[in-house]
Amino acid sequence: MFFRNRFLFLLALAALLAFLSLSLQFLHLIPVNPVKEDGVNSKNRKRIMPDPLTETPPIDPIYEAKFYCNIPSIPERSMEGHAPHYFKLVSVHVLIRHGDRYPLYAIPKTKRPNIDCTLVPNRKPSHPQLEAFIGHMSKLGSEAKMDSTLSSMPRYPSHLLCEMGELTQTGVVQHLRNGQLLQDIYIKKHNLIPSDWSAKHLYLETTGKSRTLQSGLALLYAFLPDFDWNKINFRHQWSAIFCTGNCVCPIRNHYLGEDQRRQYSLRVTNIHLEKTYADMAKIIGIPTKQLRASNPIDSLLCHFCHNVSFPCTKNGCITMEHFKVIKAHQLEDEKERQEKKYYYLYALLATYPLLNQTVNRMQRIAEGKGEELFVLYSAHDVTLSPVLSALGITEARFPRFAARLVFELWKDGKKNKEYFIRILYNGVDVSSQTSFCRDYNQRYNKPMCPFDKFVHFVNLDMFSPFNATNYYDACRRRLF
């Protein structure tokens, strides 16, 4: 009897130990496989499912393309105008990319996408203010103050078949939405612009393309409905990087050239991309080199954004798979561009004139010497992209149609002489992602970035990678 009870006791103990061992393995408290001294499992098992905590999910080129199109749909949520209740908003600077446009390039031997660039209020996408916008733009007379280059341009698109690079109705609606959103926040909520505002309260600047002028006017109309043309003065900026009188910079051009060589190397080593180009060229009936030179992604994005079938010939059709391969390569190029430093160094020198203007204007306002409450730069992707890079916002997507980058200047109501800045990209607060406020935000966990940090970044930090202390020396530094 004694031996029987002892046997049952040992059997129960063994079962308990086995259960505890399996439980510890399930909870990952002990390793399933023996671990070597260097920390590597002796048996390396292939994992079927990705680890959501350590592995970056694959980029979906179709999702990214839809985001880039920025088709007006549901109301957008944004973080503009958010601050502690004792802060006062004193100035806002907005840098926009023009809205949706017709392609700049055509794929040879294919039919151009049939897109109507006239404005029709009852055609989707539309906006409640679209009809009033058309009427107000039609009333323009000699009272508007615009540089001579801009005065001869149409105020809104009007061609039955879009011209190359022309703003579409979608592009107009995108910026009417932007303007309405900014009006709700900055005028209705914060009373940024007084009811008796005048021309001195605005600073407006655009490049010499109709799509940027029309985008700026659409945003401005929704921001200040039925504005008085006598108070509007759009200035012409001939440079896409808004360098004004500081455009001569040999080192900037050097780094841009280095980045273009990087782009070329990435493209020629992408065998899947080259095969895709060759297949498309065979369908169209042209040499592969000619197809690449026509920048087909520009035209295909227009087809995609407007839900128009891709081009077809007697040899077949360009397919969604072709599009996905080219778009995926474009996304890979953007990722590598952030990893390499050529574009970043280019961006620092390319954007200094614009950021310096922004800092100087904000400083004058803080000192009570400036009156520009709202500043609008209507520009291009090649304007916004280097600004984002120079600021250190590496996680930002490439500027979509009607992208907006906003700089808000705030005054601390408890300490009147202290000013703070917020930077927002498409409604998302990215101040803590900037190189000059990243450490401050992590250390102090404050909702605002001190304006002095932005000033120091523009006046000194932008030149440190070039071992210089000013723009002139940085632009002329000897490389060897």
What amino acid positions are annotated as catalytic residues? 98, 381
Residues with Cβ within 8 Å of 211's Cβ and at least 6 positions away in sequence, in order, are 98, 99, 101, 165, 166, 167, 171
30: left (phi over 0), alpha (psi -120 to 50) or beta: beta
In sequence order, which residues have a C-beta less than 8 Å from that of residue 433 and are 6 or more positions away?
Answer: 392, 393, 394, 395, 396
Rounded Cα–Cα distance for residues 469 and 476 (Å): 12
Q: Please provide the distance, in angstroms rounded to a whole number, between the alpha carbons at the two ends of the chain.
A: 94
Burial of 416-455, coded b for 16+ CB within 10 Å and e otherwise, reads eebbbbbbbbbeebbbbbbebbeebbeeeeebbbbbebbb
Both tokens of 372, joined, read: 């520009």
103 prior amide bond cis, ω within 30: no
> Tokens for 333?
């190029």
Helical residues (DSSP H) of 159-307, grouped into ranges: 169-182, 210-223, 250-268, 271-284, 288-293, 296-305
